[in-house]
Amino acid sequence: MNRLLTIVTFLPLVGLVVIMVGGKELKDDAARWITLVMALATFVVSLVVLGRFDQGDPGFQMVEHATWVKDVGLQYLVGIDGISIWMVLLTTFLFPVAVLASWKVDKDVRLYMGAMLALETAVLGSFVSLDLLLFFLFFEAILVPMYLLIGGWGGERRVYAAVKFFLYTMAGSAFLLVSIIFLYSRSGAVLGGANTFDLRQLGEVGAAIPLATARWLFLGFFIAFAVKVPVFPLHTWLPDAHTEAPTAGSVLLAGVLLKVGTYGLIRFNLALFPGASKYFATFVSILAVIGIVYGAVCALIQTDIKRLVAYSSVSHLGFVVLGIFAFTEQAVTGGVLQMVNHGLATGALFLLVGMVYERTHTRDLAKMGGLASVMPWLTGAFLFAVFASVGLPGLNSFVGEFLVIVGTFAVNHWFGSIAAIAVVLAAIYLLWSYQRMAFGPVRDEHRHLPDVSLREVAVLAPVLALLLVFGVYPKILTDRIDPSTEAVIAHVDPQGQTTDVGDVQLRLVPSELSLPEEEG
Amino acid sequence: MRTPIAYFVMLSGILFAIGSVGVLIRKSALLIFMSVELQLNAVNLALVAFSRMNGDLRGQVLAFFSMVVAAAEVVVGLAIIVSIYRRRATVNVDDARELRW
Amino acid sequence: MVAESVGLVPDPNQAMQVLWLVPLLPLVGAVINLFVSKRLGKAAGWLAVVMMALSFAVAVLAVKGLLDAPEGERLFLKHLSDWISVGSLRVNFDLRLDALSATMILVVTGIGTLIHVYAIGYMDGDGRFGRFFAYLNLFVFFMLMLVLGANLLVLYLGWEGVGLCSYLLIGFWFDKTANANAAKKAFVTTRVGDTLMLVGLAVVVMKFGTLDYEVIFGAAGSTLTKSAATVISLLLFAGAVGKSAQLPLHVWLPDAMAGPTPVSALIHAATMVTAGVYLVVRMHPVFDLSPVALTVVTVTGLVTAIYAGTCALGQDDIKRVLAYSTISQLGFMFLAAGLKAYSAAIFFLVAHAFYKALMFLGAGSVMHGMHEETDLKVMGGLWRRMPYTAITFTLGALALSGVPPLAGFFAKDAVLEIAQSNSEWGYYFLGTLAAFISALYMGRLIFLAFYGTARSEAAEHAHESPPVMWIPLVLLAVGAVTVGALATHPEGLLATFLEPISGLVPEGSEGLSTPVFYVVALLVTFGGLGTAWFVYGSGRVDWLSLRVRLAPLHRLFANGWYIDEYYAALIVTPGKAIAAFTAYRIDVGFIDGIVNGIGSAFRRLAGVGRNIQTGFVRTYAAAVFVGAIAIVVYVGFRL
């Protein structure tokens, strides 16, 4: 079974075909079930991929290759490594959850479900592509189904939000395309053969290009991913898109789509342009730190709970970007870890916000209150997700934040310290909004709202469970991420700075005391 | 004595100018068409004159092409004008303004 | 004053092998109660108590095992599981049992059990009875992890965890917005300290490559410069300032009294707030390297002690008096720590845990008997109606005031003695002043609440609490009286027990001679109590009109020197304004304005551009004509 990655990527598309074939006669429920089954099947296959993943190997595994247009060098090339394995799993995990959360959508169900499946394929394709043009194809392909989801089933200003999302991201990726093609055109000369889009070979090309040119290419790639992440100040599409998207749309947008941007930064910017990465590291870190604080400050004053979570995403992803450009093992691994953790924690928050919205029909915190006495389990789950997002140790986000702060602090005290400020701000805005929603007196119209249903428990339980599991045992994740990030950092090779915070030469008084590692 | 080619060319030019002015100024679609025909005939005249001047028959052949195309164009054009007339009871070009921003 | 190297216990007993049961049992209780408490009814409370008692039993046995080992080998380390392992940075769930953590777990589980029992009576009839005990057990779990951790990150886990539980418990009756606000205030204020502490952890990692105590203690002297030690100590101390409610991060504790009284007793008197003291004592090998940091600790503790003492004088709410008292007493503990008298600080912690928990539970008993009334002005003469409560409470108050041979006498005077014997006269004088104020407000409290004549109907008809509530009071009172036996003068039991961990008590040889010192101390104690009796208990002074005459001073004290108001004006209001400005004017207005501006710029461009399409046939004809001419001319000129 050496086509696992292709199967994982295109299985959702099969579901889409089935739905299309069913045509107008296909009942809504059938469309839902087909989608759910295909999404779960994709998840199962991705678990098989995880099972076959070789933990110690820092390179690309399960590589598949097929030529498309030989003369131009277009090919189908996919592979997976320690960084993308978890992105794939996060995606295949969140999609069934999102589908289940969309069960109550009743307008144009077939189109909705079809869009979800197409989106899943596009996202998975982005994560596994090793061919630059193939990546670009999938990257752009993400935009259309997302645009449909936001624009078709979203809130009041959905059309504005959808168009803004689409145009903004596409404008960014125009720069990406130019850079890709430029790199491609130079590749032949450097490699001594035909031009190629193959990522593994382009690493050499990127290193051989003069620094001045490499810097421009870096920026070209960076702008596209910066819009996607989003990095301050290219973030303003996010609050609108998140707020107006339907629940599942927000979950997927925050949980998965944003990660394509940060993934791109590691996979392309760092790997292809190490020199330029070092050159721009301070600049990018400053933007990241600004984003961290700025996102948190903007979140403080929001009364629309979805918008608040959206701004918190800007803040949390600033951590990821900061970690990536600190070039220490702890920081980069922490950043990748946060990509997974944020996806789960913020995904959970959006799911819960959606459930509250379905009951109260408002997102305005000023119009809520006292819901904890009416729906204890729902608000309890919400509090759990809030504390995960706040970075409570024992839950997942803490580990990532800790690693990023520690890893960044070792190379730049200021960035590490300022990033820590976000920890306080996060507590303020999340607890205050939770309080406005759940505590205090109940409004009359909310007195008889139902607590969580079985379906909602099925949606929430897996996500919340992972928040705890990954908080207590992040080794499951970091053991596989580590070798690949080590390789990336070695490739960037930042001289003159420490790359492993734990590796400090001490003038130790030799201690006979060591923790009994082998004891049961 | 051969007539100097210049005279033919001048005549052609004058006819073309009259035709152009007609195209630009006239309001009736029919009259615009007639002006276009005038332009085309002016060109034909110039072609034949130059053919005579250079002793090259290709000019006359081109004139034939031109006449055929003119005939085809007139057929189509007049058909459209008649169709428009049937719709709107006018051939005033200024009244057919819908295809704008 | 470097800690002597402590060796591993040679033959750990059964209880030590299952040390993890000590935190696990309350966790199990919490999880069970969280999910099935409705069905258990009142049994939920007893389940929690049983878990606590079992945990205490295991703790006792484990400590006994520790004591059985010879003096230089009282250290037990247990690796539970891997936690974080990235590159060379490894931080694991490891437990550490030494003299310090042994002391702490006994205090937490022992006093905790009594408070759980009391809570069964106190929370009787509450709609979310089971939930309460789940949170209480969960709190104990985190507190135990805090003190049993073998590295700074497990401590931090417990640290934040107790913050979480404090939030849940302060805001337990969440239908009142005031309670929810108090909970949020507590969490956010401590978070400020916690974040600075987190930065401190980052510095530790940077310097040592690890967060393990053993490595840090062993290498501190040789790895850290004085300034590095100062930075680390100050950052960690910032966390302590938040958690232990010292100036300037103390503002959450008085408001936290909104929570149920057992919460105030357990969390805000005996355990969570003492975590800061534990942290400083635990990390003392680093603190010892930085005289600056130690001075900061001492001064902070001292200033807080005096400040909070004055505020306690101005409070009419019985719980708020106790809250400020706790802040003040914690200040004493930090005073001791800053003077490197670490075992004295821990002894104070233990003693304080007993008598403060006792008094809080007593206050709860008073509230129970007076239908949730907390205003001292309408109490009085309660000793007739609630004798058990009154007697135990009085014992606690006398203990705090420093009446021999109760615990507080030994604790307080251990600290002051060390100050003056090392010629720190400023500290000694101010510390003595703080002791005087303590005696004063304590006397005021008991005279107003329990003695004299009843000043209201409620006070006249108050009733004693049920046995499930007063039996723990008695047991705690016994503790408050007897714990003095552990006294920490250099030959004291606790001091020798703690010595390998906390270092020697800094014994100076100057200062007052011993008899003089004790005479002064007793004068201060009885002077304070006597003054309080004279003003509030003897009936000879109309203290209400006295208050009117001293109104500005009273208002100052009652409002905590208006620090809350300053914070609101300097931080909260501008903070909200900045946030609003950023979110609306900058983000939506400016940045998004640019984005939308680009969009509308293109639309306007298009708006101009499309005017070419006039629909006017003659325009098109003219355009064709002009263009043709232009081409002809151009070609003509080229040729």
Domains defined for chain B, CATH in brackets: 5-88 (1.10.287.3510)
Is residue C84 within 8 A of residue A474, CB to CB? The reply is yes
Digit-coded pLDDT (tens) for B87-96: 888 888 888 7
What distance in Å separates residue B60's CA from the closest CA in chain C? Answer: 22
Which residues of A, range 118-157, sit inside 8 Å of C by Cβ?
none
Confidence band for C508, pLDDT divided at 50, 70 and 90: low
A430 or C618, higher pLDDT: A430
Mutate to test the interface with C, among A232, A298, A515 (most CBs of C within 10 A): A515
Q: Do B100 and C625 touch (CB under 8 A)?
A: no
Mutate to test the interface with C, among A292, A373, A506, A508 (most CBs of C within 10 A): A506
Query: What per-residue confidence (pLDDT) applies to A465?
Result: 95
In chain C, what percentage of residues exceed pLDDT 90?
Answer: 46
Tokens of A203: 């690493």
Cα separation, A299 vs C582, in Å, equals: 10
Q: Which of B20, B24, B99 sits opposite C615 (nearest CB)?
A: B99
If one counts the domains in chain C, the total is 1
DSSP string spanning B43-98?
A: HHHHHHHHHHHHT-THHHHHHHHHHHHHHHHHHHHHHHHHHHHHHHS--BGGG---
Cα-based angle C419, C425, C428 (whole degrees, multiple of 5):
50
Query: What per-residue confidence (pLDDT) applies to A508?
Result: 40
Q: Which of C84, C94, C164 sits opposite A515 (nearest CB)?
A: C94
Cα-based angle C193, C195, C201 (whole degrees, multiple of 5):
110
Cα separation, C196 vs A345, in Å, equals: 24
Tokens of C602: 């293109």
Give chain C positions within 8 Å (CB) of A474: 83-84
Cβ–Cβ contact A500 with C under 8 A: yes
Tokens of A219: 């920026």
Beta-carbon contacts of C341 under 8 Å, excluding residues fewer than 6 positions away, are: C414, C415, C418, C488, C505, C506
Q: Measured in whole angstroms, how far is the alpha carbon of residue A455 from the centre of its chain? A: 25
Q: Is there a domain that residue C526 lies in?
A: no
Residue B65: Cβ-neighbour burial (10 angstroms; 0-12, 13-18, 19+) = exposed
Query: What per-residue confidence (pLDDT) applies to C616?
Result: 84
Residue A376: Cβ-neighbour burial (10 angstroms; 0-12, 13-18, 19+) = middle
Query: What per-residue confidence (pLDDT) applies to C149?
Result: 93
Q: Do C610 and B101 touch (CB under 8 A)?
A: yes
What interface predicted TM-score (ipTM) does this complex get? 0.91
C496 has pLDDT over 60: yes
Cα separation, C486 vs C482, in Å, equals: 8
Mutate to test the interface with A, among C5, C11, C31, C84 (most CBs of A within 10 A): C84
Cα separation, C194 vs A132, in Å, equals: 44
Q: Which chains touch B (3 or more CB pairs under 8 A)?
A: C
A67 bridge partner residues? A75
Query: What per-residue confidence (pLDDT) applies to A292?
Result: 94
Q: Do C616 and B101 touch (CB under 8 A)?
A: no
Cα separation, B43 vs A16, in Å, equals: 62
Digit-coded pLDDT (tens) for C324-346: 999 999 999 999 999 988 888 98
Cα separation, C534 vs C566, in Å, equals: 35
Splitting chain A (520 residues) into consecutive groups of 10 residues, what average pLDDT does each group show?
A: 85 92 85 93 94 86 87 87 93 95 89 94 95 93 95 91 93 94 86 82 84 92 95 92 93 94 93 91 94 93 93 94 93 94 95 93 89 90 94 93 92 90 89 91 87 91 95 92 90 80 56 37
Q: Which of A236, A238, A219, A232 is nearest to A290 (CA)?
A: A232
Q: Is there a domain that residue C564 lies in?
A: no
A 10 A CB-CB count for A140 gives 16
- Round the CA-based radius of gyration of chain B to a whole number and report it: 17
Q: Which chains touch A (3 or more CB pairs under 8 A)?
A: C
Span C528-543, mean pLDDT?
82
Q: Note down the domain range covering C577.
A: 569-638
Cα separation, A405 vs A395, in Å, equals: 16
- For C623, the closest chain B residue by CA position comes to B24
Cα separation, C629 vs C622, in Å, equals: 11
Cα separation, A315 vs C132, in Å, equals: 34
Query: What per-residue confidence (pLDDT) applies to C468?
Result: 86
Residue C140 phi, psi (nearest 5): -60, -40
Identity of the residue numbered A94 = L
Size of interface B-C (CB pairs under 8 A): 29
- For B93, the closest chain C residue by CA position comes to C617
Give chain B positions within 8 Å (CB) of C622: 24
Cβ–Cβ contact A509 with C under 8 A: yes
C46 has pLDDT over 80: yes
Least confident of A140-149, A439-448, C25-34, C163-172: A439-448
Digit-coded pLDDT (tens) for B17-68: 999 999 999 889 999 999 999 999 999 999 999 998 888 899 999 999 999 9
How far is the CA of A363 from the CAs of A44, A241, A306, A358, A360, in angstroms? 35, 15, 7, 10, 8
- Global pTM value: 0.89
Confidence band for C491, pLDDT divided at 50, 70 and 90: low
Digit-coded pLDDT (tens) for C254-270: 999 999 999 999 988 88
Identify the H or E element spanning C78. Answer: strand C76-86
For C539: left if phi > 0, alpha if psi spans -120 to 50, otherwise beta; the answer is left
- Dmax (CA) of chain C: 125
Is residue A333 within 8 A of residue A484, CB to CB? The reply is no
Q: Which chains touch C (3 or more CB pairs under 8 A)?
A: A, B
Is residue C187 within 8 A of residue C167, CB to CB? The reply is yes
Q: Which of A164, A421, A442 sits opposite C195 (nearest CB)?
A: A421
How many residues make up chain A in this entry?
Answer: 520
Query: What per-residue confidence (pLDDT) applies to C72?
Result: 75
What distance in Å separates residue C584's CA from the closest CA in chain B? Answer: 37
Q: Do B93 and C618 touch (CB under 8 A)?
A: yes
What distance in Å separates residue B96's CA from the closest CA in chain C? Answer: 8
Q: Is there a domain that residue C622 lies in?
A: yes
Q: Does A have 3 or more CB contacts under 8 Å with B?
A: no
- For A238, the closest chain C residue by CA position comes to C592
Alpha-helical regions (H) of C149-290? 152-170, 177-208, 213-223, 226-243, 252-255, 261-265, 275-282, 284-287
- Measured over the CA atoms of residue C131, residue C55, residue C400 and residue C238, the dihedral's sign is negative
DSSP string spanning A45-72?
A: HHHHHHHH--TT--S-EEEEEEEEETTT
Tokens of C108: 């937490």
Query: What per-residue confidence (pLDDT) applies to B1?
Result: 59
Q: Do B101 and C611 touch (CB under 8 A)?
A: yes
Query: What per-residue confidence (pLDDT) applies to B95?
Result: 82
Cα-based angle A403, A406, A407 (whole degrees, multiple of 5):
75
Query: What per-residue confidence (pLDDT) applies to C488?
Result: 54
Span C285-314, mean pLDDT?
93
> Three-state DSSP class for A336?
helix
Q: Measured in whole angstroms, how far is the alpha carbon of residue A60 from the centre of its chain? A: 20
Give chain B positions within 8 Å (CB) of C610: 101
Instruction: Give the dihedral of Cα atoms B44, B48, B50, B55; nearest 10 deg.
Output: 160
Mean pLDDT, rounded, of chain C: 88
Q: Do B23 and C621 touch (CB under 8 A)?
A: yes
Digit-coded pLDDT (tens) for A126-171: 999 999 999 999 999 999 999 999 999 988 899 999 999 999 999 9
C612 or A393, higher pLDDT: A393
Cα separation, C310 vs C374, in Å, equals: 19
Query: What per-residue confidence (pLDDT) applies to C173?
Result: 92
Q: Is there a domain that residue C119 lies in?
A: no
Beta-carbon contacts of A268 under 8 Å, excluding residues fewer than 6 positions away, are: A132, A135, A199, A221, A225
Q: Is there a domain that residue C607 lies in?
A: yes
Cβ–Cβ contact A403 with C under 8 A: yes
Q: Is there a domain that residue C150 lies in?
A: no
C182 has pLDDT over 80: yes
- For C620, the closest chain B residue by CA position comes to B24
Confidence band for C41, pLDDT divided at 50, 70 and 90: confident
Cβ–Cβ contact B23 with C under 8 A: yes
Cβ–Cβ contact A479 with C under 8 A: yes
For strand C76-86 and strand C89-97, is the pairing parallel, antiparallel, or unpaired? antiparallel
Give chain C positions within 8 Å (CB) of A167: 599
Cα separation, A381 vs A388, in Å, equals: 11
Q: Is there a domain that residue C625 lies in?
A: yes
Cα separation, A435 vs C370, in Å, equals: 31
Beta-carbon contacts of A398 under 8 Å, excluding residues fewer than 6 positions away, are: A391, A392, A471, C160
- For B29, the closest chain C residue by CA position comes to C617
C286 has pLDDT over 90: yes
